Structure 1
Amino acid sequence: MTSHQILGAAITVVDINRVLGPLPNDAVPSRDETGLVRELDRMRIDTACVVHSHALHGDPRDGNGRLSDIGDRRLHPVPVLVPGPLGTGGWDGEGTAPLVRLCPDRHGWNTTGPHALGLLAEVSRANTTVLLAWEAVTAAEVHLLAGAVPGLRIVLTGTGYRSLRDLGELLDTHPLLHVDTSTLAGHRQVEWFAQRYGAHRVLFGTGAPVTDDAGPRHQLDTLDLPDGDAALVAGGNALRLLGGAV
């Protein structure tokens, strides 16, 4: 693994939130593994946690199965979980990924239903971290979920400036909630989160190719934070949350 210079320090850059595979209405470079790795090189990103687009837009079991075909060690599989008897099955953490994604809006399930809470309790016991898009849930649902499974680490993605009041209340209440940088594009938003809640709760993520990767990557180079905090945001927090598996 290589490392890059950010604010004068050599650190590892980990994109916690990226998609591998074709998109329904766009010919993206990351439609295959070779193209995605080329994009990481272009953006000076050392490694990425990837969900397969077939798991997002089709059957999660099919998309999750395609993750086993990944050969490049810079790409780390992120399966999509669906609870219940029609879902993706249980989660014991043995030999499985340290990061998973939830898409209740796309796959039609209730985040605080009994099947979901049972599965997420298993995820929490396995010390697995969850990616959850802000657009997929309401603030009230996040509050109920984090309260019902208090040991569950959640990274909220795609938050943006319109969510700041609700998001701030949630972060004040639930210490295991984190945010990614994919849409924190407002003036000094990343700095504000890092200074108010701690840099350990902010992770570099792009959401690419669904959302832009150049903006968050440039933002990382220009963060007005101490070098140690910038290193945490860039990749240190991902390495910690994922147990060094990245």
Structure 2
Amino acid sequence: MGNRIYFDCDLCLGKYAYKHPLQRWKTEDILREMDRTGIAGAFAYHGLAKHYSPEYGNRLLLDEMKKSDRLYGCWVLLPDNAGDFPDIDTFISQMKENNIRLAKMFPKRHFYVFDEDTVGKQLSGLEKASIPLLIDWSEVSYNELITVLEMHPGLHVIIQGASWGQERYIYSLLSKYPNTYTDFTSFQSNENIEFLVKKYGAHRFVFGTNMPFKSPGAHRALIDYARISEEDKELIAYKNISKLTGITLKAV
């Protein structure tokens, strides 16, 4: 258990809106918490890419990533129909130049519809470039999601933040769409991991903490003490996200 690698795919760095005065949000705080809980590396988006401007926040993220070689980038993107965001080919080129391996969307937060007319070009670009998309369950409707998955069967989509109350939706998605994955940042109930691994296989799940909003130690314990094989724990803890992104880590 002690030597298992953990690779976090749900981390927020930098400033963001509506912080509690005692919230430990600085990158240095995050790195200390990663040390304390034995998390080897993490993919992060910038808080201002969600709460202010994706393009501005994405640039700021590069500065935060320079603080540790254990931090990897996830850029937030928008549709380009308003003329205030790069077209998808330019965006992907910029991602590759900066070694950014994941993309994330916030349709509700950024006031656009998650459908083929609005983001079809963006999703096709990610699909062609084999860049996985992260999306929070609270940001899309089930019907929006299945329509997009039907149109983009080669796009790897990691659904984040679904809770036990949405489990029947998640079961349906995992059953029908082989390139969908989910984490356990909120998806926690009695023997949930054991049930899901038996039904769908451990290769469909990734490790995320949702730092600095949730406790990384608790999320690690969920995997550490699950009654599944060591091989399955390793798949969830780091091997699945490593395979999706092409980045490997060493234990800390």
What is the TM-score of this pair, normalised by structure 1?
0.91
How many equivalent pairs are there?
238
Aligned to 2:166: 163
Letter aligned with residue 12 of structure 1: I
Aligned to 1:12: 5
Counterparts of 1:211 and 1:33, CA distance in 2: 15
Q: Which has the higher contact order (CA 8 A, sep 6+)?
A: 2
Aligned to 1:75: 71
Instruction: Confirm or deny that 1:106 pairs with 2:109.
Output: yes
Alpha carbons 1:48, 1:74 under 8 Å: kept? yes
Give structure 1 stretches of 5+ with no counterpart. none
Counterparts of 2:248 and 2:145, CA distance in 1: 27
Aligned to 1:138: 141
Secondary structure of the equivalent of 2:92?
coil
Secondary structure of the equivalent of 2:104?
strand
Counterparts of 2:228 and 2:123, CA distance in 1: 34
Secondary structure of the equivalent of 2:50?
helix
Deviations 1:15-67 (Å, cap 9, x if unpaired)? 110111134222432x3221111111112111111111011111111110011
Secondary structure of the equivalent of 1:104?
coil
Alpha carbons 1:184, 1:190 under 8 Å: kept? no
Letter aligned with residue 223 of structure 1: A
Matches within 5 A, 1:36-115: 36-69=30-63, 70-71=65-66, 72-84=68-80, 85-90=83-88, 91-92=91-92, 94-95=96-97, 96-115=99-118
Secondary structure of the equivalent of 1:78?
strand
Aligned to 2:23: 28
State the identity as a percent. Answer: 25
Alpha carbons 1:82, 1:89 under 8 Å: kept? no
Alpha carbons 2:9, 2:42 under 8 Å: kept? yes
Instruction: Confirm or deny that 1:214 pairs with 2:217.
Output: yes
Alpha carbons 1:179, 1:203 under 8 Å: kept? yes
Counterparts of 1:53 and 1:198, CA distance in 2: 32
Alpha carbons 2:10, 2:209 under 8 Å: kept? yes
Counterparts of 2:144 and 2:217, CA distance in 1: 31
Give structure 2 stretches of 5+ with no counterpart. none
Counterparts of 1:229 and 1:131, CA distance in 2: 22
Q: Which has the higher strand share?
A: 1
Quote how far apart the aligned CAs of 1:88 are: 4.5
Quote how far apart the aligned CAs of 1:215 are: 2.0
Letter aligned with residue 52 of structure 1: H
CA root-mean-square deviation = 1.6
Quote how far apart the aligned CAs of 1:245 are: 5.8
The equivalent position to 2:188 in structure 1, one of 182, 185, 188, is: 185
Letter aligned with residue 92 of structure 1: I
Deviations 1:204-244 (Å, cap 9, x if unpaired)? 10112223323212112101111100000011111101112
Quote how far apart the aligned CAs of 1:149 are: 1.1
Counterparts of 1:225 and 1:117, CA distance in 2: 38
Alpha carbons 1:190, 1:202 under 8 Å: kept? no
